[in-house]
Structure 1
Amino acid sequence: MLKQHLIAFVFVSCMPFLQTTYSLSLSGKLSNGVLLSNDASGKYAVIIDAGSTGSRVHVLHFDRNLDLVQIGQDFEFFKAIKPGLSSYADGPEAAAQSLKPLLEKAEAIVPKEFRANTPVKVGATAGLRLLKGDSSEKILQAVRDLLKNESSLKYKAEWVTILEGSQEAAYIWAAINYLLGTAGKKYSETVGTIDLGGGSVQMTYAVSKEVALKASKLSKKETYIQEKNLLGSTYHLYAYSYLNYGLLAARAEILKVSRNSSHPCILYGYHGYYTYGDVAYRASAFPTGPNMKKCRAFVLKALKINAPCKHKKCTFNGVWNGGGGDGQKNLYVASFFYDRASQVGVIKTNVPSATARPLHFLSAAKCACRTKYKDIKSVFPNINESDRPFTCLDLVYEYSLLVNGFGLNPFKKITLVKKIKYKDSLLETAWPLGSAIDAVSSQN
């Protein structure tokens, strides 16, 4: 059974085993603040990403065929401010006003004659979800009032929201398939996506209409399947967000499994704590260092691999797997999967994307788990200091999540991705692009 699959290596080297990659240069920056589009036709979209640490505005311009048009010398205008909306928990009006500089900049870029038909959408993520009481809703309402009363852009109340994990997942899927040129094609020609964030991990892929009609349901009102119109084609997307299984949240779940003061996933020589969600978890190594077999067992227990499955087939924790099919035969894997892979030598650093296999994470884990804490910096110099004690744990988790959680063959080729080539530039595979595509596609 794949869920019990373990791979033994006769020899595991700590030398990087780099995959074939490509590297490109980004197009030039905007000069002298001139932010004029090279083409005055088509559609614009303004997306504000209201994250926990700051807010960012993305302005995109599409031609009549919904191809991206350059704004100045780039395919996207981007501007960020700090702090994030959640920093104004007791001042909703101040939170809304913090977005005004971003809004003014966006309106200056969009030609006057296009503004009334240019959608402006605000998607808030993790930070607002954590606010107590009705603070988050008060902030969202203040932002709605700002857009309604002070913006010349097209506004709808439902476009200002806290993004659900499944929404974010669908937008990332749309962005990646758009940049690859597979959006608008048959569902079987699209790629699936797995995005490993800090708090959650999302899997998204297109399924056939037949699978969608027979799809399992989360509840009487909720379904695993979303219908998404993209570039003239209708897709049935399996999009699910596994809350508390992002890399940072999973560390806490894995550390909680141990009832002792020591843990088999922590590097030899480290004795400390890991804090997540204002809770400190003991993170101390065994006297003999990490134990891969026990570490894997703890990870699988945290994943709830053996939880009851009420569906035909589940991933982990009793969640329906979507039925599989051609929509997930090619997988693009992002965020912390890409980050750790580039930091430990599975792929080269600073490349936009590269292919690898799940077993490469296991090989890197074996190397990390036998490395002492005092030596981890010299072996893996690109890992951030705060992450070093958890190098073994992180890599064991990522391998187990792919193989035991999502059921991938350890030898399956996957693409680790941060950016994708679009014409002569590299664009990030982030949800705001997918949201913009969704907005202009629905207008078409």
Structure 2
Amino acid sequence: MAAPSLILTFTVWLLAESLLTEATYYRHHRYVPHFYRYREHSANTENLLPEVSNPAPEVTQPRVPTYPEIPEVFHPVPEVIHPIPEAFNPVPEVVHPAPEPYQTPEVQELVAGASSPVNMSRVFYGIMFDAGSTGSRIHIYKFIQKDPVELPVLDNEMYHAVKPGLSAYKDNPEEAGNSIRQLLKIAKKTVPEDDWKRTPVVLKATAGLRLLPEDKAKAILTEVKDVFAESPFFVPNNSVSIMNGAREGVLAWVTVNFLTGHLYSNTRRTVGILDLGGGSTQITFLPKSKKTIQSAPPSYIANFNLFQNTYQLYTHSYLGNGLFAARLATLGALGADGLDWKVFTSSCLPKKFREEVAFGGDTYKVSGIPDGYAGYKLCYYEVMKVIKGKVHQPYEVKGSSVFYAFSHYYDRAVESGLIDGSRGGAVEVRDFKKRAKEVCNKMTKYRAISPFLCMDLTYITCLLKEGFGFKDSTVLQLAKKVNNVETSWALGATFDYFRNLNIH
């Protein structure tokens, strides 16, 4: 009885063990497929792509299998990366294809990394001497050329002047050379030494030397050439010369219109210039009317090319009508002989004024009229003799053209209180006339400023009204500098050297 009971118990135990093993095997295979299905679904879910492209450390567990879908995330479709190389690898013929936001960081990285100089901008210098009748001036320009077919950017100007002008050394040309040598020392301190050999140095003389006898002017220019030859700068052919008056006016026009931004635009809206030097005066503008061209003497029209544009200007220089030459002409002293004993008088000077005046290497004795009359009307009559019949009136100046006036126009306006000397300003032609009357009728009051102030303001008034034909209401913009650069022909002459404007 015991044996059958033992056999039954053993059979039940075996049956239970078999059922337990089968249940465990079933649960194991149900779990694993569930795991695989969950992982495969997660790896192909689109909103998880950012996490895969920036994986967290815990994702890379050794038990997680590697699937073919995952490498696709690290190799994005081509459209995503194609725009990037296009922005930084422009086609060769485009000099500046990328806009400023892309360009600036790229240049900064190159400079900071001290890698090869891939920056396409080029820095260069130019030295221009303005040898005028009353002084010699040096203009040292620093340019940045960003695009060879566009205007360069003027980064800054170093300006310095010495007196007297070269013409004062007509009997001592060695001293003329020393005055230029003095200015060259400033250039050596301004231009980096590595740029000396490729920086051109040019001197152009104006009315002061044009008024001298040819042999004396030539001796001065020869001395200056020798000084240039000693310098470490590049000395081009014809680096020292006397510039004709027409070019002086055109190049001053180029300077002012470059500084005021008018040469950058295609509107052809420009400004005219009035330059009153010591020995000569210039008027230059771009005519709007064909009648201005047709009614002008042929020699008063100049053509030139600048940056793929052709300009036809009305321009003329009046030698002997600069402010200091006009003073002597008013006194009857310009070109006179017997300077050792003659005294030249004028109603434009204070009655008790007597002084020696130097100009162009000569000395003149001048004075007021002690027992005579003085004042605006008498002065105007005297000045008219210097202007009347000698100055052409262009048709167009009676219109609304905008003119910049500088040099002695500016200086006398500041001295007489017409404008603020720190920033210039706009005046009407009638303002010069009004102030001339005030000064001439109270010469004693203004003598401390300048005994010639009455004569100068009267001459400016007469030149503008009776000479060029401006209306009383014409507005003149008086300026010594525009954007912190001197308003003179020197910048335009530097452009002429670098670009060959082909003025004719």
Q: CA deviation at 1:63?
A: 1.9
Aligned AA (1:270): K
Aligned AA (1:393): M
Question: Is 2:159 the partner of 1:61?
Answer: no
- Which of 161, 176, 192 is residue 241 of structure 2 equivalent to? 161
Q: CA deviation at 1:77?
A: 3.4
Partner of 1:376: 446
Q: CA deviation at 1:190?
A: 0.8
- Which of 367, 391, 395 is residue 453 of structure 2 equivalent to? 391
Q: How far apart are the structure 2 equivalents of 1:187 and 1:206?
A: 12
**Matching of residues 7-18 of structure 1 within 5 Å:** none
Q: How far apart are the structure 2 equivalents of 1:359 and 1:87?
A: 35
SS in 1 for 2:316: strand
- Which of 328, 351, 360 is residue 252 of structure 1 equivalent to? 328
Q: 1:88 to 1:211 in 2, by over 3 A?
A: same
SS in 1 for 2:285: strand
User: Is the Cα–Cα contact under 8 Å of residues 177 and 220 in structure 2 kept in the other structure?
Assistant: yes
User: Is the Cα–Cα contact under 8 Å of residues 55 and 99 in structure 1 kept in the other structure?
Assistant: no
User: Is the Cα–Cα contact under 8 Å of residues 364 and 395 in structure 1 kept in the other structure?
Assistant: yes
Q: CA deviation at 1:182?
A: 0.8
Partner of 1:302: 386
Where in structure 1 are there 5+ consecutive unaligned residues?
1-37, 308-316
Partner of 1:272: 354
Q: 1:187 to 1:202 in 2, by over 3 A?
A: farther
Q: How far apart are the structure 1 equivalents of 2:165 and 2:331?
A: 30
- Which of 453, 465, 468 is residue 403 of structure 1 equivalent to? 465
SS in 2 for 1:235: strand
User: Is the Cα–Cα contact under 8 Å of residues 279 and 325 in structure 2 kept in the other structure?
Assistant: yes
Q: How far apart are the structure 1 equivalents of 2:378 and 2:167?
A: 39
Question: Is 2:311 the partner of 1:203?
Answer: no
SS in 2 for 1:153: coil
Partner of 2:412: 340
- Which of 221, 226, 234 is residue 140 of structure 1 equivalent to? 221
Where in structure 2 are there 5+ consecutive unaligned residues?
1-118, 334-342
Q: CA deviation at 1:270?
A: 2.3
Question: Is 2:260 the partner of 1:190?
Answer: no
Question: Is 2:478 the partner of 1:416?
Answer: yes
Aligned AA (1:392): C
SS in 2 for 1:207: coil
Aligned AA (2:405): V
Question: Is 2:450 the partner of 1:428?
Answer: no
Percent identity between the two aligned chains: 32
SS in 2 for 1:59: strand
Q: 1:182 to 1:88 in 2, by over 3 A?
A: same
Between 179-188 and 93-102, the greater mean CA deviation after superposition: 93-102
Larger radius of gyration: 2
Question: Is 2:405 the partner of 1:329?
Answer: no
User: Is the Cα–Cα contact under 8 Å of residues 147 and 155 in structure 1 kept in the other structure?
Assistant: no
The TM-score, its normalising length taken from structure 1, stands at 0.69
Q: CA deviation at 1:203?
A: 0.8
The TM-score, its normalising length taken from structure 2, stands at 0.62
User: Is the Cα–Cα contact under 8 Å of residues 293 and 314 in structure 2 kept in the other structure?
Assistant: no
Q: CA deviation at 1:394?
A: 1.8
Q: How far apart are the structure 2 equivalents of 1:286 and 1:352?
A: 39
Aligned AA (1:333): A
Q: How far apart are the structure 2 equivalents of 1:48 and 1:137?
A: 17
**Matching of residues 2-151 of structure 1 within 5 Å:** 41-51=122-132, 53-54=135-136, 56-64=138-146, 65-70=150-155, 75-78=156-159, 99=180, 106=187, 109=191, 112=194, 115-116=197-198, 118-129=199-210, 132=213, 134-141=215-222, 143-144=224-225
Q: 1:96 to 1:400 in 2, by over 3 A?
A: closer
- Which of 387, 412, 434 is residue 363 of structure 1 equivalent to? 434
Q: 1:183 to 1:147 in 2, by over 3 A?
A: same
Q: 1:239 to 1:345 in 2, by over 3 A?
A: same
Q: CA deviation at 1:407?
A: 0.5
Q: 1:398 to 1:256 in 2, by over 3 A?
A: same
> RCO higher in 1 or 2 (8 Å CA, sep ≥ 6)?
1
User: Is the Cα–Cα contact under 8 Å of residues 278 and 325 in structure 2 kept in the other structure?
Assistant: yes
- Which of 424, 439, 443 is residue 497 of structure 2 equivalent to? 439
Q: 1:297 to 1:431 in 2, by over 3 A?
A: same
Partner of 2:3: none
